[in-house]
Amino acid sequence: MAEQTSSNPYIFDDPEQDRLRLETQTRLISNYLIRHIRGFAGDNVRAILDLGCGSGQLGFRMLEVYPGAQLIGIDRNPVAIQNAAMTASQHKLNASFSSGDIQVELPPGSFDLALASLVLLHTQRPDMALKRVYERLSSGGTLCVIELRQLPSVNNDQNYDRINGLLFTTLGRIGSHPNIVEELPGLVAGAGFVDYQRRESESDHPLFTHNENDMRYAFAAGVGAMYNARQGIAAATGTPLAEVERMIVGVMNTMSRTTDFKVPPIFAVATARKP
């Protein structure tokens, strides 16, 4: 694992590869939100705050649902911010982006919808981030959170179970929040939010699409994260690097040879409202 710095805003070892992984996951998640966001946030969304926006893919998809809204995104990675701003300019979208830490400061404005996709897990103070989001939301505004949760493999793969456990152990040891899904109810209540709801189900889930190619694509992104973090996992858990790499290769082999390949619903979706 790498320490979060201005030169490497991610916790895994290769910032460029981890940015691409997050963008892959975001593209898949956006398909779910396109179908459901009006049910979560209603029709009257005029301003959207995208936390940990990356290159803007999720926020841009939300502008498809709310074409009259303004999008403002913030991310730690200035390269991702530059890419987002370039895309917005090319397509003449009502969107602006800034580089910053959501735990410290958020862009000014009043927002009807705040998106936090795969970002709170990687913060050391998610409570502070949520309090700042609460301050920025308008009365009745919606917070939508999508986060990673730890689940055992549904393919009976011991390599996956072990490397997944080591990854989450490492996240905890470097100050992240691997159990953020279980922490969310208390965190959002502590920030002042009400109407907290878990939204996902196995039959209609961001990455539970029943499309084998999509599931393999999603799972490959997760395995890529494990590979990218292999040196940090070895250091944090005392597991020999060669053993970490062997487990990852084992998972990849299972994925490539299994015809009835399954991916568990590894993302939790939650919403809350500012009264």
CATH number for the domain spanning 66: value is: 3.40.50.150
Question: pLDDT tens across 56-91, in order?
Answer: 989 999 999 999 999 999 999 898 899 999 999 999
Write down the pLDDT at residue 139.
Answer: 97
Query: For 125-137, what is the mean pLDDT?
Result: 97
In a domain, 10, yes or no: no
Report helix angle 230-237 to 212-228, nearest 10.
Answer: 60
In a domain, 9, yes or no: no
Write down the pLDDT at residue 8.
Answer: 37
In a domain, 4, yes or no: no
> What type of residue is 146?
I
Q: CB within 8 A of 242, min separation 6: which ones?
A: none
The C-alpha atoms of residue 121 and residue 130 are separated, in whole angstroms, by: 12
In a domain, 7, yes or no: no
Write down the pLDDT at residue 203.
Answer: 47
The C-alpha atoms of residue 23 and residue 224 are separated, in whole angstroms, by: 13
Q: Which domain range does residue 115 map to? A: 15-273
Express as a percent the part of the chain with pLDDT over 70. Answer: 76
Query: For 122-133, what is the mean pLDDT?
Result: 95
pTM summary value? 0.81
In a domain, 238, yes or no: yes
Q: Which of the pair, 177 or 258, is modelled with greater confidence?
A: 177
In a domain, 63, yes or no: yes
In a domain, 5, yes or no: no
The average confidence (pLDDT) of the chain is 83
In a domain, 20, yes or no: yes
Write down the pLDDT at residue 216.
Answer: 64
The C-alpha atoms of residue 273 and residue 275 are separated, in whole angstroms, by: 6
Write down the pLDDT at residue 13.
Answer: 47
Other Cβ atoms within 10 Å of 222 Cβ, number? 20
Q: CB within 8 A of 172, min separation 6: which ones?
A: 178, 179
Express as a percent the part of the chain with pLDDT over 90. Answer: 48
Domains in the chain: how many in total? 1
Strand order in the sheet with 70-75: 95-99, 70-75, 47-51, 111-117, 137-148, 267-273, 194-198
Write down the pLDDT at residue 130.
Answer: 98
Vertex 55 angle, CA 49 and 58, to 5°: 50
Position 10 confidence tier, pLDDT thresholds 50, 70, 90:
very low
The yes-or-no verdict on residue 41 having pLDDT over 90 is yes
Query: For 117-129, what is the mean pLDDT?
Result: 92
Query: For 89-97, what is the mean pLDDT?
Result: 96
